[in-house]
Structure 1
Amino acid sequence: MNTIKSSLIASAIALSFGVTAANAEHHTGEDHADMVKAQNDAKPARTAAQATTDAAITASVKTRLLADERTKGFDINVDTYNGVVSLTGGADSMADKMAATEVANQADNVLRVENKLTIAGEDTEARQDANTATASGEVREAMDEAGDGIDDAWITSKVKTQLLADDQVHGTEINVETKGNVVTLIGTAPTLAARTKAIEIAQATKGVRSVVATGLVVGPDEAVDE
């Protein structure tokens, strides 16, 4: 009798442990799934208004990097999401990398800067890899030398950035469109000299075949003065 009772108790305990282990495994799986979902949901959604602000931040940071003597020579890609600016590409030294962070932080509405620039010599493999990741700068030049065309989107971005960075042009009123490496400038230049400078900037940009500026007019104040 005692033997039978002991066997029943042992079986009950074993069954209990089995159920507990199964439940534990089940909950562990659920917890892991919940954790993954939580991580995926951790990145807050971006509203249309914030997307517009992010685009403005990106343009402002690019302009500042191009205009600053410490960073204008580097191939730096800028991405912004909910006010957080991410910098990728290459830099010569830690001082240059820190300068890029400083410049980016000066733009309006920037909450934080994530500086992922790779510090490496200009001709090193690490630097080439970093620049390749940005799909611009030296990589574009290498493509051009190899006979591959520079794409229109890159040309448009490059011309816009240069126009915004130029003190004479102040390119906020100038729209840039590129098709087949032909740049079209449309909008208003503050002065005749600024219009001429805008055309020169576009013409000097790598990969540009020609510039159409019939839609780029001089501001009314300048016209009155003339």
Structure 2
Amino acid sequence: MLKPLFMVVLGLLAGCAVFSDDPRVRTPGAMIDDQVIETMVKRQIWNSDPAFNSSHLIAVSYNGVLLLTGQVETADLKRKAEDIAASFDKVRKVHNELQVGGPISMVARANDSWLTTKVKTKMLADAEVAARKIKVVTENGTVYLMGMLPRPEADAAVEAARSVYGVQKIVKVFEYI
């Protein structure tokens, strides 16, 4: 009884080693950390100042690199959001792409969702793009591409996104490996 249990535990530990040895691979632990970062950063920002109530704020994390997008009413709120995000231990870098102004309309948000779908579909159809390693975020026609990729794969992803009708701008938030 003890020997089979030992073999199962040993097999599981060997499988965990596969997740942690390659620095080019985003581990399950990093994925969980990213979800926690997104939730906690948004909560902390919202709770820090009632002025954020009129903001449209998106926080997306990929391997500890945090992207802030959306709209805030003032430049001070933009700086405050970045400072709060940067204060988290697991956040390695903050890309603050918040725009100063009122929130975009629901129609614009629906269009952004449609653009994200079209960009992801285009990437999935392109054999040169590692689509499963790329997170696509669209805000007000601007497409943000996040992931850990070699430059040629990142360039292919940008070209795929560029070819989608309706994309106004592409911002690369890649970590090059």
Specify the structure having the higher radius of gyration (Cα): 1
TM norm structure 2: 0.44
More strand by share: 2
TM-score, scaled relative to structure 1 = 0.35
Structure with more relative contact order (C-alpha pairs < 8 Å, separation 6 or more): 2
